[in-house]
Amino acid sequence: MNIILENTGKRYNQEWIFRGVNDEFKAGEHVVLLGANGSGKSTLMQTVLGSIAPSEGRVIYKHEGKEIDIDDVFRYFSFASPYMELPEEFTLNETLEFHSGFKPFLNNLTTNEILEATGLTKSANKQIKYFSSGMKQRVKLALCIFSDTPVALLDEPLSNLDSSGVLWYKNLVNQYSANRLFIVCSNKQADEYYFCTKELVIEDYKR
Check which CATH number belongs to the domain holding 192 and give it.
Answer: 3.40.50.300
Amino acid 133: pLDDT: 96
Which residues, in sequence order, are bridge partners of residue 77?
151
Q: How far is it, in rounded angstroms, from Cα 41 to Cα 32?
A: 10
State the helix-helix crossing angle for 163-176 and 133-146, rounded to 10 degrees. 0
Give the count of domains, the chain: 1
pTM for the predicted model, two decimal places: 0.94
pLDDT digits (tens, 9 = 90+) for 169-205: 999 999 999 999 999 999 999 999 999 999 999 999 9
In this model, does residue 207 exceed pLDDT 80? no
Query: Do the beta carbons of residue 111 and residue 97 sit within 8 Å?
Result: yes
Amino acid 194: pLDDT: 97
Nearest of 172, 87, 98, 174 to residue 131 by alpha carbon? 87
**Span 128-152, average pLDDT:** 97
Structural domain span for residue 127: 2-205
CA atoms within 13 A on the CB side of 119: 14
Q: What are the Cα distances from residue 192, in Å, to 19, 39, 155, 168?
A: 25, 17, 9, 12
pLDDT digits (tens, 9 = 90+) for 21-66: 999 999 999 999 999 998 999 999 999 999 999 999 999 999 998 9
SS3 207: coil
pLDDT digits (tens, 9 = 90+) for 78-116: 999 999 999 999 999 999 999 999 999 999 999 999 999
